[in-house]
Structures are given as structure tokens and as C-alpha cells.
Amino acid sequence: MTERALVGLDDRQREAASALRGPVCVLAGAGTGKTRVITHRIAHGVDTGAYSPARVMAVTFTTKAAGEMRGRLRALGVEKVAARTFHSAALAQLNFFWPQVAGDSAPAIVDSKVRVLGQAADAIGLRLDATTLRDVAGRIESRKVSMRTIEADATARPHSIPGLDLSALTDLQRAYEKLKDQRRQLDFEDVLLACAGMLESEPRVLTAVHEQYRHFTVDEFQDVSPVQHRLLELWIGERQDLCVVGDASQTIYSFAGADPRYLLDFHTRYPQAQVVRLERNYRSDGAILGAANALMRGRPGALELVSSGPAGPVPQVTGYPDDAREAEGVARRIAEAIAAGVDPRRIAVLYRANAQSAALLSALASRGVPATVLGGKRFFDLPEVRQALLALRGAAVAPLETTFVAAVRDVLRSLGFSDDPPPAGGALRDAWEARAALMRLAEEAPAGATLRTFTDQLMARAKDQHEPSLRTVTLATLHAAKGLEWDHVHLVGMAEGLLPISYATTFEQIDEERRLAYVGITRAARSLSLSWAQASGYRERQRSRFLQEIGTGIADAGGARATTGGRSRH
């Protein structure tokens, strides 16, 4: 039993999962199974008696990732591990210890920073539009995750926001903080700062946290900000039972305070740390990895990814005369693939900016291809899904007069579900796809399922944000696509001004854009298509410098396909 969590791991994964005492640094490239390693390492520690699960904290950056981690640990028979985001862990500690320290309940959390900023602006006689308020909110978030005071931030970043001079910006931030204090409120970033401040100033609280948690794992360590790193230091104290997992080549949140130096310099801070490199990729074929490796070669912390299977077709590059024809060309190729039997759920179109989605959605709809934009409402928050859950739970009260699957179909039909989908594009098709996803979950349910157990399972999935995939093509920004994968990826807008984006001018900013392109490329498992348009309106564009760095050839604009000239380099 003590070896069960190591079964099925490759040699490097097994090495990482067997390193139960920190400090440990796992450099895990895209598609190398890092979540598998994290969860199996924790399970192995519990199986061997090295860890008590209630004293393990596994920290990641999204609620969805934390839910996936908990689900995988449950599947391995491990319960009670605190798998949380930095914010949820900090908020739980604030809510628990604040009454003991302050004799009162913890402050409420601001639901809209922009709204409070608007009220603060009114209080000091400023009239600002929503765009400016959002820019100020971003400035506040950046300042706080970097642990700078208002005054220190003004010195470090003397530039202001359009329509607001530096003095007014400073006054507005002070008014915002004053208003929050008067209302006993904290914003999202304050949660981390307040938790760190409480641990620094209250030794008994720090001692209690050290007693509760002995073993720490941090996923996506390249995305840690200064305030998160400070909080982690306080949680750990002088101990060294820390395992960090990350990939410097996937640092794409510098604007949110992410600092990959914490990952890159880990061996300097902990000279005795065991470092394990995971470079065998189980997602993408060798030709796709060749493009990814070429793009990142020579960059700090870059890993050389190696495919676990044979090389497939080299990535294709296509040039188009303009944005509209690019969208039409991509839609045509996707429609042809679906007609040939490809599941639309296994296809994604990725792009740099949200504004690029409109033309793509229109082009896909014109060819009858349903598509979903990632980053909208969560599946279980959709009105039609919430309505279906209520109806299914209500139907569960009565005894079944038919089979379970038939009962689910009857409930969904009473809400408007039909066997034949409406035309692609529009709210009716979106609602149909959501109900169809529930129907598929029912058809995949284990033998003996009932309406009660089915709705319980759906509620558990909602809690863990384990959302079913809609039978649609996915459209997503490169930021939203991180951590996901598809068999077939179309990376569009590979032109100067889009990728890299026009406002990326410094070396560091261009490198961040390169990492975004790398993230997009490594989402693809079986095929990768890259495209760009020579013109957008009256503006002429050049193909992205990243296409040249990858070593690809390019066709004359006009929609003809062109294949890459570079092959996999391992």
C-alpha cells in the first residue's frame, strides 16, 4: 500500500513524488503531468505516514484548480488536505482568528472595487468615467500585490492615468482606503495583506498556524506575487517542508504581480533543495513541441520538452489578406474537420485579445458551427442549468416510473430540450448545449444512479467547479487557455500589434508576449494551425516575429495553406 501512489508514474515523476521532505522544486513543463505529481506526492506521503492529511496545505491560484486537486486526492483515498487558493486560505484564517484577536467579526469583503472607487471619487469632488475607475482599480491591485504604500508606489511609478494627474490619483486612493475603513471592508488584495499583518503582529496566531500546517505544496509557483510569497514565508516559518512546482516559461501574469524569480532563484534560497525536471510531455506530438522549444530556447528557466509519442504533422501557418478572411478561413477548416468526424469539444481557437472573438463567432455561426467563449458565466451558474437542477431535485421526490436516463430526459424536455439542436449562434443554441451537457452526464452516470444521487453529484461538481464540456468549439484568450488542452488548436492573429500586442515595447514585455504564444502552442495535442492577417481595416500588419523565431515558413496572403519549415528538435 505504501507504493500504490507511485504506480504508473514515469521515472522523473516518481522521483518528484518520492521526495517527501522539503525543500523540493519541481520544474514541470507544459503537459508533463504536474497536477498528477502533486496529488500523488501528497497521497504517497499520507500512505507512508510521513504526512497527516489535515496538516497538509496545497496552494494553487484558481478555485477550479483547487477543486480539481481535491477531486484527484479523493480519488486517491485522501481527504482533509487543505487544497485552496492563496486568497481562500488567507480568508479562512482571517475569519477564524480575527474574533480572537479583535473581539469582533472579520471585515466584509468589497464586492466591487470600481463601485467603491466611484463613491470615493464623488466624496472628493472627482468626476471619473468607468474606464478611468477600472484603470485606478488595476493600479491599486498592482500596488498592493507588490506590497507598496501609496506614497512608495507614486515614487516607483511616477506616471499617472490618462485624465487623472498623480496628485489626484494619490488623493483618490487615500479616499478609497478611508471609505473602506469607515465601512469595515477589505478588498481582494487586502485579504492577503491583512492575513500577513495578523501573522506578523500576533505570535500566538502564528504559532497556531504553524501547529496546524506542517507540509506545504505550491502549484504554479512562477505566478507567485510578493505579497503571496510573504504570506507563504509566514506560514512556513523556519521549517523547510515546502514543495514548489512551476514553469518559468508559462509566466503570463506579470501584470498581476507574478514574479518568476521566486521559482528561478529557489535553489539559491534553499541550496540543499532537491530539484526535479519534468520534460517528458504527454500532451503534444513532437512537431508541436519543436515549435514550442524553438520559441523559448535560451530564455531563463526554459525546459526542453520531449514528446512521449511519434511526431505528427508539422504546424501549419496561413496568411490572409484581412481579419474577416482569416476568421472565415479558420471557420471553414473547423467546419471541414467536424464534418470529417472531429468532436467540436476537441477544437479551440485562441487569440490575444477579447475583441478578436466577435468575427470568429460570426464566421463559425455562418457555417453552422456552435462555439462557446471561455470566460463567460460558469456552467452551473447558467440560468437553464440552475433551472434544470431545481427541476431534477424536485422530480427526485417521486418514485421512478421509468429508467433513470429516461427520467432525466423527460425533465429536460419539460424545460425546452429537444433531440435536434436549433441553429448555431444565439441564446437558444447556447441553452440547448447546456441541457445537452446535462443529458450526456446522465447517460454516463454509473449503473444504479437515481435522480437523487445524480443531483448530488451535480452539486458536488458545482462546488469543485468540475464543469462538463459543452459540445462546442471553444474560443478563448491565451490567458484564459492556460492549464487547458485540446486536440486541435487554431492560434489566430499572429501579427505584429496583436501578438506581440502593440503596447508591449520593452524587452520584458515582449518576453511576456512570447510566453503567451508558448502557452497557446502547448495547448495543442495533435494539430496546430497558426494564422495572421495582412490588414485590419486600413492598417497594414507584418507577420509576428514569433513565427520567424519558431522557424516557420509563410504563404502569400490569400488563404493558401503553408507548412512550417522547422521540425522537432529533440
CA 182 to chain centre: 35
CB 226 within 8 A of CB 147: yes
Cell 515558413: give the residue.
553
Cell 430526459: give the residue.
409
Binding-site members are 28-35
Please report the beta strands in 226-332, taking only residues with DSSP state E, as ranges in sequence order.
Answer: 242-246, 274-278, 280-281, 306-307, 316-322
CA distances from 37 to 7, 303, 369 (A): 11, 17, 37
The angle, 0 to 180 degrees and rounded to 10, between the axes of the packed helices 203-212 and 86-102 is: 140
C-alpha–C-alpha distance, residues 423 and 353, integer Å: 27
| Burial annotation 352-386 (CB, 10 A radius, 16+ → b, else e) | beeebbebbbebbbeeebbbbbeeeeebbebebbe
Cis ω for the linkage preceding 313 (within 30 of 0): no
> Backbone phi, then psi, for 316, in 5-degree steps?
-105, 145
CB 46 within 8 A of CB 78: yes
C-alpha–C-alpha distance, residues 69 and 376, integer Å: 23
C-alpha–C-alpha distance, residues 174 and 123, integer Å: 11
The DSSP letter of residue 53 is G
CA distances from 319 to 57, 316, 463 (A): 48, 10, 44
Binding-site members for ATP are 28-35
C-alpha–C-alpha distance, residues 26 and 436, integer Å: 40
Helix, strand, coil % over all residues of the chain, rounded to 5: 50, 15, 35
Q: Which grid cell is 318?
A: 496561413
> For the purposes of burial, counting CB atoms within 10 Å of the CB of 71, is it exposed (0-12), middle (13-18) or buried (19 or more)?
middle
Instruction: Look at residue 391 and give its three-state secondary structure.
Output: helix
- Closest C-alpha to 15, from 217, 221, 206, 275: 275
DSSP class per residue in 10-33: -HHHHHHHH--SS-EEEEE-TTS-
DSSP class per residue in 425-459: SSHHHHHHHHHHHHHHHHHTSPTT--HHHHHHHHH
The stretches of 345-477 forming alpha helices (DSSP H) are 357-366, 383-395, 404-414, 427-443, 451-463
